[in-house]
Amino acid sequence: MKKFAKLSIICILIFSLTIGMTACGSSKTASNESGVKERTWKIGHVRPEGTSTDLDVKAFAEEVNKNSGGKIKIDVYAASQLGDYTVVQERVGVGDVEMQLAPAGTSINKAMGIASAPYICKTWDDVKRVFARDGKLMTNIDKMFADQNIKLLAAYPKYFGGIALAKEPKDPKNVNVSKDVKIRVPSMKAYEKTAEALGYIATPIAYSEAFTAMQTGIVDGIIGSGAEGYYSSFRDLTKYYLPVNDHFEMWFLYLSMDVWNDLSDEEKKIVMDAALKMEENRYAQAEAEEKEFIEKLKEHGVTIIEFSKEEIDAIANKVKEEVWPKIKDEYGAEFFDSVTKE
C-alpha cells in the first residue's frame, strides 16, 4: 500500500508538471501569434464633436480597434475635454494621457512654433513639399517631440490663415499702406510683426478673449486662425475676410513614447498604418474643406477679399524681408535659415 501510494503521488506530480508545461507553452504561443495586448487609451483634440476633425479621430480609433481585433480601444475626448492642448501635450510626455491631435505646443520648446511661422508655405503644393515626412522640417519636429518623450505619428494639415475684420480696411491689397485697423494677434512675436508688416495695428489678446474684444470694439479684427475657425466662432462679427495665407495651420498626431516603446512590432504597425491612412485622407480633403468654409462665410454675408498669386507673393516677400530676421532667433537662427532655405 505504501509503494502504491508513493507511485500514485509520483504519477500525480508528473501529470501536474506536464499539464503546467503544456499550459505555459500554449500561453506563450498565443501571445507570440497575436502580439497584441488588451489596451485602452485616451486621445484628445480641440474641435467640437461632429466636426471633420472629430470624425477623423474617431475613424482612426476605429481603424486601430478593428485591426487589433478589438484589443486596442481608444476613447476620444473632443473639445479640449482633457485640458488645453499645450497642457495635454505635456501630459502625453509624462504618460498621463496616451494620445493627442493638436498644433505643436511651444511652452517647452519655442522652436516648435516654426510649424506656423509666417509664409514658410504660400500654397498647398508648398505644404506637401515643406512638410514632407523626410524633409528637414518634419525630421526636426519629430526629434523635438521625441525630446519631450512623445512619438510623432502623423501630420494633419488644417488650413491657411487669414484675417477676419468687422470693418473694411484701407487699400487691403497694398502692402505699403496703413490699413488703419486694430486687430487681435496671438501673444507671439511672429503674428505681431506679420500684422504690422501688412499695415495693421497689432494688439495681443488671448484667443478666449478675442470674441469679446471684437464685439466691444477693442479691436476691429483678428488674425491667427482661418476660414474654419472664423466661421465657427466669429461669423456673426465678421464683415470681411482676407485669405492672405499668413501662416499654415499644421496639427500633429502623437503618442506617449512610453506607450509606443511598450508596443509589440505588430501593434506598432497597426497604429502607424492607421495614422498614415489618416494623414493621407486629410491631405486629400483639406484644401477642399478650406474652400468650403470660405464659401460658408460668403453665404453668411461676409465679403471675401480675394488675392491673386502675385498679390500673395508681394505680401510674402515683404514679410520674409521684414519679419523673418526679427523672429528667427525664437526658433534658432541656424535651424530657421536651414528650413526656409530648403
What are the cell numbers at 180?
488703419
Q: Return the pLDDT at 268.
A: 98
Distance CA 125, CA 135 (A): 14
Residue-wise pLDDT tens digits, 253-305: 999 999 999 999 999 999 999 999 999 999 999 999 999 999 999 999 999 99
Distance CA 310, CA 136 (A): 27
Q: Tell me how far CA of residue 7 lies from CA of 2, 12, 13, 21, 192, in angstroms.
A: 9, 9, 10, 21, 89
* Residue-by-residue DSSP string for 228-261: HHHHHHTTTT-SEEE----SEEEEEEEEEHHHHH
Answer for the pair 56, 278: CB distance below 8 angstroms, yes or no: yes
Strands of 72-77's sheet, edge to edge? Answer: 72-77, 39-45, 99-102, 248-256, 150-160
Which among 277, 294, 128 has a CA at the least distance from the CA of 226?
294
Task: List, in order, residues 6 or more apart from 1 with CB less than 8 Å away.
Answer: none
Highest CATH level, class, for 37-111+123-158+249-285: alpha beta
- Secondary structure element (H or E) that encloses residue 223, with its range: strand 221-225
176-182: long-range pairs with CB below 8 Å, 24+: 181/220, 181/221, 182/218, 182/219, 182/220, 182/221
Q: What is the pTM of this model?
A: 0.88
> 239-273 burial by CB neighbour count: b if 16+ within 10 A, else e?
ebbbbbbbbbbbbbbbbbbebbeebeeebeebbbe
CATH 3.90.1170.20 fits 162-247+292-341, yes or no: no
Distance CA 297, CA 76 (A): 29
**pLDDT band, very low/low/confident/very high, at 126 (cuts 50, 70, 90):** very high
Give the side-chain half-sphere CA count within 13 A for 259: 28
Answer for the pair 179, 200: CB distance below 8 angstroms, yes or no: yes
Residue 11 identity (one-letter amino acid): C
Strands 248-256 and 221-225: unpaired
Strands of 201-204's sheet, edge to edge? Answer: 201-204, 182-185, 221-225, 162-165, 240-242, 303-304
Residue-wise pLDDT tens digits, 81-96: 999 999 999 999 999 9
Task: List, in order, residues 6 or more apart from 82 with CB less than 8 Å away.
Answer: 42, 44, 88, 91, 97, 100
Phi/psi of residue 98, nearest 5 degrees: -80, -40
Q: What is the mean pLDDT of residues 147-163?
A: 98
Same topology between domain 37-111+123-158+249-285 and domain 162-247+292-341? yes
Would you say residue 13 has pLDDT above 50? no
Average pLDDT of the residues of the chain: 91
Q: Return the pLDDT at 33.
A: 52
Answer for the pair 297, 227: CB distance below 8 angstroms, yes or no: yes
Would you say residue 26 has pLDDT above 50? no
Distance CA 54, CA 218 (A): 33
**Residue 75 pairs with which residues in a beta bridge?**
42
**Residue 241 pairs with which residues in a beta bridge?**
164, 304
The residue assigned the cell 478666449 is 208
Which among 233, 234, 109 has a CA at the least distance from the CA of 166?
234
- Secondary structure element (H or E) that encloses residue 147, with its range: helix 136-147
Residue-wise pLDDT tens digits, 165-193: 999 999 999 999 999 999 999 989 999 99
**pLDDT band, very low/low/confident/very high, at 231 (cuts 50, 70, 90):** very high
- Of 290 and 35, the structure prediction assigns the larger pLDDT to 290
Q: What is the mean pLDDT of residues 25-51?
A: 74
- Domain assignments of the chain as residue spans, ordered by start: 37-111+123-158+249-285, 162-247+292-341
